[in-house]
Structure 1
Amino acid sequence: MLKDCLEIFEAELERTKKRFGDSDRLILDEYILADGDYLVVEKNGEIRQCSVRMDKKTRTVERIPVDDKLYERICFYDYHSRLVSMDKPQDTKKVIHSNSYLAFWVKWDSFDNGKLNEEAIDRYFDILKDPREKYKKSQDRKMYDYIAKKIGEVDQKKLEKNREWIKGHIFGLDELELNRKNYLKIFFAEEPKLYVQEEQRYVMTKIFNKNDYNVEIDGQIYGLSNDNLGLNSKKPYLEKKTRKMTIPYLITPEEAIGQRKFFDYLMNKANAGETDIFFDYDEKKIISKKRDQMVEGDFSGYFLKIQKGKELEIHHQDTIVDYKYFLKKKFLYRNVIGAEDREGKYKEYVNRQGLQEIVNEVFYSKWLTGNYFTPEDEMSIDGELKRILIWSREAVFAWLYKGREVGMDRILHTVAKNVIKESIKNGYMGKVVQQFNLMCSFDEYFGGCNMADRYSEIREKLRDKINCRGEQIIESDEEYFYAVGQLVRYYISLSKAKEKTHSLANPFFNATSNEVLQTRLKQYFMKYNHEIATRSSRFNYMYGMVLGYELEGKIRQEPIIAGYLSNSLF
């Protein structure tokens, strides 16, 4: 699937090249600098500076001064001066983090702890002066020779000039107004071609996971990808043991460079908070969204869930076929048992975005969208809601983002029942009503009946029966359970306890048989009958009908909860 995504990325690169004359603009236009101070040393010796800070809440970059042309230059220099990873530095002691003599990156902490000194500066430039001396292994030397033939040798004159500038200025920057936080990055103004050339000198020797795995076939070098893949003696399970060549994935250096650009592009998106990446294989384009946003339109292609870590991390990937943003059948969130609707929740929802928002808020208390792929031990919630979320989130994500509806009626109903019980236990009755209404609305959406009309009908029948004289009977299991819920709520209202909690109703919601239900009703009657007047005809009729009814089917919690939540008929 990675190759399929790369093909679409290459199509985006080609479009960018046709539009701007430079395919790297696709990456550089969204490139985000790390927090720190940036200096550009012009050829005439002038120093130009820029300080950068990322506002993590708004995901926007603040820079001083606001000089777009200088900022663009720095982005270019920075992009082409990066290490592949901190495990593959030029400076063996990892004090200096840039990759060529055209740049000098160091953390401000290294000034305070003494790690940055003349010895460190010389160590860095000495390595760059004669790169072959660094590559003792034959495979490493072969990779260096491979690129050196194409780009030539290091310009020793420029290297020494930059070394002397660093030695003469790096410890005397007090006259500059610098933030002195995180990084200090110094760049020497040169033609873009030279920056790219010196980056290639470094990257080509580090682009593969480990050059020991490289093989040469018909004069072409192949190596193991370094992106989201590691292979070493501690990970023998990653090898393909059934093959003569056990290395799982071999690519050419050119393919590795293209793949690196792809992961650079994804890292830009992760830095901007756009962690849901959709690859449209019909239109050959890439759509990036923030974690709770969806593709607005029809879509078929590939999906990557990414996150910024020490490197770009892919947490989830899948193929999506025939996704449609607008629902084939509108979802109506009904006010089934009556509730205040100050926020206008009870309405028609026509697209998946709206559906996700209401599910996230009502069923998951806004914990769903940010935790589709969060590891269990990193979640900030505990208890029943965490259990429900872990159990259901994969299926809910597949339903909302991939259009897979199979089994969702059962899953959402189970989620609803559990969160309703939890809300009742905690006394969140306003939330319970919303959750119950949403559960009934989804039951109807997936093929059930209109429960708003059904409960209204049951309620009117019971009202008539307890208000008229003469013998009356309950006519259905649903009517029976609804009446039980009404009795339970009435009993609890009679309690004299200082703290009356709705968890008193849990024994009825959790009853597994009608015998248990009837026994508990009798227990509550004995407990609270001193508060019930003998002339309470409505109660007498209701309780009499409940005691006299013979249940035909199994216990159902939903109508009990509906009766419990509805206004009292007494």
Structure 2
Amino acid sequence: MIYDLLEYFKDNPRSNQLVIDQYTLKSGLYIRLNKDGSECMLTVQKRESPQGELYNWFKKADHFSCIIDTNKAFDVPKKVMHNNNFFTLFFKTKSLLAQGKLKDEFINHVPVFYDKLIRKLNSKDVLNFSEKAGLSPVNEEAIIHNRDIIIQKLPEIMRKVIELELKDDDYIKLFFEEDMEAYQREYIRYYYPYIFNKNDFNIPFGDTIYGLSAANMGLNTKKPFLEHKTTNFKVPFRISLEDAMEAKKLFEWLSNQKNEEGKSLSEGYIPLVDENLIALEDKITKRRNMHYVHIEKGTDTIIDDYDFLPGITGEINRFEPNNYLMLEYYDARATSIRSGMEQMVDKYLYSFKLKRYYKTNPKDIKRISHRLMNLLLLSRKAMEDFFIKGDDQGIRHCADRITLELVKEKINEKETVFFHNTGCAMNIRLALLKYFDIGGKKDMGDRVRQMFEQLAYKADNDDVAACADDSEFYFAAGQLVRYILLQSEAKELKHDMVDPFLNAGKAKRFKYEIKGVYHKYSHAFNLRGKRFNNLLSMVMGYDIEDHKKIDFDMFLAGLAAKNVMYVKGENDRENEQ
């Protein structure tokens, strides 16, 4: 699972540097107090990443000096100071100044904070973990010395802050010049006592400690139901202190990943190519073994989906979304790229709601019909497994049923019916049935074309025309219903004009609805119209058995396809194209 990925990350000799390379400084003022009495200063603004030796020094020192969160700060309950060692002091502008003057409250709080720092660093927990890490106790005189220098520098710092016009939430971060190894030692001293989920579950073993990882684990006093109640052990697993620190680095690295455009990544692939190289890629390219991760970013970074994908590739067998329904405007093109196929399915079947809502909590999905919501929730895992992970088992199982319902939903997608959109969706459905060879319907698209040609011939023929089978009946019914509905004097066709046919449970009811819509608009027809009379007689004269299932595929195909009632150059009366 996730710890397979951790093993791969641990094997990388540059894991520490990988984290720091992705790390960015928060906006504010950074000051290094050098040992020779001089100062180095750097200002960082939001969305800017300065370069250079000084910036890189601050980036490393800042990474090693930040707290996990304010609840685990040394400065509780005030939470004014946000640093984790005595080489630094971090606070926000609004804590330092009020109306352009130093806050007395802040000046008085600085010695209080350093007293808390000394007590915490000499606490039993910190001393025990420091001993496990091979660290000597802190030098209290060094802490007091740094405190006195900071207090002395406060008026000067205040003037710089006012001069730079820092915002209230900008940070002021003070650093003492020390070797980076010293910063890293204090980083370990701070993090070891907090690295596990809860120290009550820790077990000393050998030269280390095993505990419940804080990564992807929510077990705490507020969630006792996550404990194992029926076993001799309360927690599901424990990891070593060293692995817990590596897990922290892994999650930190993941949370800071960006794509080539600089946008934050919430998912991606980690290819197993070279143990000296590790990267999160946002797309699949050539065939490789990969780790797939999806992360949720919040107070903590959580991996909410992980999979190992052996030999996955972005190339697929050629997907050909042919224009089976002979639509006048249809721009889907054949592709051998997995993401290209995904884009077509998302566009034509899901109205761009699939990729956007792969992982979204249902309560956060907005501007979507109730029906489409249900279909999305039923199918998105299968679609994601194929398009993101290369596993076609789920999509083969559900594609026939789901895509038919999605085509029906196209009728109800908007108050006004756009048969062209339904036709595009039907083309994609037929292409998917052929691609996955689902349910013996592989050749349905080709049959639709043949049926149109046969129906066009029969409609123009002077001989008595009849439907050859149930499939031709339903296709002809779709053609007839569309033509009849277009005789309405209404400017737009409403979806409730089509709903009775889609909701018909039995064949007799379906045919009854055709009779009803014909009688409603019969005044608009030319009784001498050969095509219409032939088409009407074919549909109304066909004896359909009531117990058989309605062939909605053929009805929808007939409804959305090119219509035999219109010859080239004649006005189709449709505004949909």
Q: What range is the shorter-chain TM-score in?
A: 0.7 to 0.9
- How do 1:9-48 residues align onto structure 2 when only pairs under 5 Å count? 9-12=9-12, 14=13, 16=14, 23-43=15-35, 44-48=37-41
| CA distance in 2 between partners of 1:471 and 1:509 (Å) | 29
Q: Which residue of 2 aligns with 1:59?
A: none
The range that moved more, 531-540 or 181-190, is 181-190
Q: Which residue of 2 aligns with 1:20?
A: none
Residue by residue, what CA displacement relative to the aligned partner does 1:307-358 show, whole Å, maximum 9, x if unpaired? 221011222223334423211x21101111123457x42x221021111111
The question of whether the paired residues in 2 share the 8 Å contact of 1:409 and 1:442 is answered with no
2:296 to 307, 310, 315: 307
Q: Which residue of 2 aligns with 1:265?
A: 253
Cα drift, residue 562 of structure 1: 1.4
Where 1:491 maps in the other structure, the secondary structure is helix
Cα drift, residue 159 of structure 1: 2.2
Where 2:219 maps in the other structure, the secondary structure is coil
The question of whether the paired residues in 2 share the 8 Å contact of 1:50 and 1:71 is answered with no
Alpha carbons of structure 1 residues 261 and 326: separation in structure 2 relative to 1, 3 Å: same
Q: Which residue of 2 aligns with 1:107?
A: 92
- 1:199 correspondence with 2:184: no
1:566 to 541, 561, 568: 561
Where 2:327 maps in the other structure, the secondary structure is coil
Q: How many residues align?
A: 544
The range that moved more, 486-495 or 216-225, is 216-225
| CA distance in 2 between partners of 1:514 and 1:130 (Å) | 83
Q: Which runs of 5+ in 2 are unaligned?
A: 566-577
1:555 to 530, 550, 558: 550
The question of whether the paired residues in 1 share the 8 Å contact of 2:325 and 2:561 is answered with yes
Cα drift, residue 227 of structure 1: 2.1
Cα drift, residue 359 of structure 1: 1.5
Cα drift, residue 287 of structure 1: 4.4
Alpha carbons of structure 1 residues 193 and 449: separation in structure 2 relative to 1, 3 Å: closer
The range that moved more, 306-315 or 417-426, is 417-426
Cα drift, residue 268 of structure 1: 1.5
Where 1:87 maps in the other structure, the secondary structure is helix
| CA distance in 2 between partners of 1:420 and 1:162 (Å) | 72
Cα drift, residue 75 of structure 1: 1.1
Cα drift, residue 511 of structure 1: 2.0
Alpha carbons of structure 1 residues 381 and 415: separation in structure 2 relative to 1, 3 Å: farther
Where 1:171 maps in the other structure, the secondary structure is helix
- 1:326 correspondence with 2:311: no
| CA distance in 2 between partners of 1:147 and 1:407 (Å) | 48
Alpha carbons of structure 1 residues 165 and 257: separation in structure 2 relative to 1, 3 Å: farther
Where 1:471 maps in the other structure, the secondary structure is coil
- 1:95 correspondence with 2:76: no
Q: Which residue of 1 aligns with 2:572?
A: none
Q: Which residue of 1 aligns with 2:401?
A: 414
Where 1:156 maps in the other structure, the secondary structure is helix
- How do 1:507-526 residues align onto structure 2 when only pairs under 5 Å count? 507-526=500-519
- How do 1:135-150 residues align onto structure 2 when only pairs under 5 Å count? 135=123, 138-147=124-133, 149-150=135-136
| CA distance in 2 between partners of 1:278 and 1:67 (Å) | 28
Alpha carbons of structure 1 residues 242 and 566: separation in structure 2 relative to 1, 3 Å: closer
Q: What one-letter code is carried by the residue in structure 1 that aligns with 2:379? A: S
Cα drift, residue 174 of structure 1: 4.0
Q: Which residue of 2 aligns with 1:533?
A: 526
| CA distance in 2 between partners of 1:211 and 1:442 (Å) | 53
Alpha carbons of structure 1 residues 118 and 212: separation in structure 2 relative to 1, 3 Å: farther
Note the aligned Cα RMSD (angstroms).
2.7
The range that moved more, 159-168 or 190-199, is 159-168
Q: Which runs of 5+ in 1 are unaligned?
A: 17-22, 55-61
Q: Which residue of 2 aligns with 1:432?
A: 422
Cα drift, residue 116 of structure 1: 6.1
- 1:335 correspondence with 2:323: yes
Residue by residue, what CA displacement relative to the aligned partner does 1:396-443 show, whole Å, maximum 9, x if unpaired? 111112222124245233333333333222224332221111111111
Alpha carbons of structure 1 residues 248 and 411: separation in structure 2 relative to 1, 3 Å: closer
2:281 to 289, 302, 305: 289
Residue by residue, what CA displacement relative to the aligned partner does 1:15-54 show, whole Å, maximum 9, x if unpaired? x3xxxxxx52211111122344433344433341222313
Cα drift, residue 83 of structure 1: 0.9
Cα drift, residue 467 of structure 1: 1.3
Q: What one-letter code is carried by the residue in structure 2 that aligns with 1:278? A: Y
Q: Which residue of 1 aligns with 2:466?
A: 473
Alpha carbons of structure 1 residues 71 and 433: separation in structure 2 relative to 1, 3 Å: farther
Q: Identical aligned pairs, as a percentage? A: 26
The question of whether the paired residues in 1 share the 8 Å contact of 2:290 and 2:312 is answered with no
- 1:226 correspondence with 2:195: no
Q: What one-letter code is carried by the residue in structure 2 that aligns with 1:507? A: P
Cα drift, residue 249 of structure 1: 2.8
Where 1:80 maps in the other structure, the secondary structure is helix
Q: Which residue of 1 aligns with 2:480?
A: 487
Q: What one-letter code is carried by the residue in structure 2 that aligns with 1:561? A: L
- 1:367 correspondence with 2:360: no
Where 2:210 maps in the other structure, the secondary structure is strand
| CA distance in 1 between partners of 2:255 and 2:22 (Å) | 10
The range that moved more, 544-553 or 529-538, is 544-553
Alpha carbons of structure 1 residues 27 and 165: separation in structure 2 relative to 1, 3 Å: farther
Cα drift, residue 148 of structure 1: 6.8
The range that moved more, 228-237 or 374-383, is 228-237
